[in-house]
Amino acid sequence: MAKRENPVYAYVRASQAHGYGHIYIDCFELFGYSGPTLRLSCQMGGESHTTSYAWEFGLSNDYGVIGEYACHKGYLLMRRANRVLKELNDTVGYSANFANYAVRALQAAGVRKVYFNDNLRGEIGGKGVKELPCLDTKREPDLLEKAIFDMESTLILLMRR
């Protein structure tokens, strides 16, 4: 019997407008239905010209309300992920950049597949998300961290102009 593929995945995208850049990482299928249920994000620009800030990690749903089941499952997921992140912070130190923070948080949440959109306008040109390049948080954490770091660095440079 073939091993069943885990449907959970994340999608990394960037946006820029009005002198600010954002990176969003939306996780899908964590609770068995479509729509983002966990989001990581950061911002750059404004008064800060050298680094990203406002790193966030939490429940999100752009498609409607988050019901009791998703809230409960989300609470359990966040509790577990935050515990893992705290242990990492205590043993190896705090993340120096958003890219490292994001990879740690994705691993803590149990997300393996990460589809990466390097178009800084967030457009995927008629492709489906799953047609984009994919990196694995366990097998390729360094490559994923570098890809997110490069996106973050590029946005920071764009915000300086």
For 30, the token pair is 């964590």
What proportion of the chain, given as a percentage, has pLDDT over 90? 50
Q: Please say if the pLDDT value at position 35 is more than 70.
A: no
Per-domain residue ranges of the chain = 9-160
Q: Residue 71's CB: how many other CB atoms inside 10 A? A: 12
Which pLDDT band holds residue 160 (cuts at 50, 70, 90)?
confident
Q: 121: pLDDT confidence band, cut at 50, 70 and 90?
A: low
If pLDDT is split at 50, 70 and 90, which confidence band does 46 have?
Answer: confident
> What torsion, rounded to 10 degrees, do the Cα atoms 82, 8, 104, 88 define?
50
Q: What is the predicted pLDDT for the residue at 16?
A: 87
pLDDT of residue 122: 60
What's the rounded Cα separation, in Å, for the pair 69 and 141? 31
